[in-house]
Amino acid sequence: MNKYWMYVVATCLLEMVWVFGFRTADSLWSWILLVGVIIVDFYCLSKACEGLPTGTVYAVFAGVGSIGTVLMDYFFFNGELSGLKLLFIGMLVAGVVGLKLADNKGEERSLQ
């Protein structure tokens, strides 16, 4: 995994932090901290786009964010998780894995 994929991992994790923060922030300082996390998150997102296709980075960011948000809602905020939601989460995971595999194929071709 190259450094740009590490930025993708960081931006996905930070997205989970700020989504959680939107649900729990209740004071000025928590909102200030939340804005700081969002700034760092978008910095990592922009760094990832320097070395990876922007479409791939954004698709992974959005896909993992969607999956994480649904799961966070279920585990932390008593949200519902239906079979249909699980089906679509599986489709998102398959899409993210497919994008990563396609990106690896592109890297192999560029090395030849």
Structurally, the chain folds into a number of domains equal to: 1
Mean pLDDT by 10 residues, the chain (112 residues): 92 94 95 97 96 88 88 91 91 84 66 52
The model's pTM: 0.77
Whether residue 51 contacts residue 3, with contact meaning beta carbons closer than 8 Å, is answered with: yes
Cα–Cα distance for residue pair 56/100, rounded to 1 Å: 8
Phi-psi region of 78 (alpha: psi -120 to 50; beta: other; left: phi over 0): left
pLDDT at 67: 87
Q: Which domain holds residue 64?
A: 3-111
101 CB-contact burial (10 Å; exposed 0-12 / middle 13-18 / buried 19+): exposed
Cα–Cα distance for residue pair 75/58, rounded to 1 Å: 25
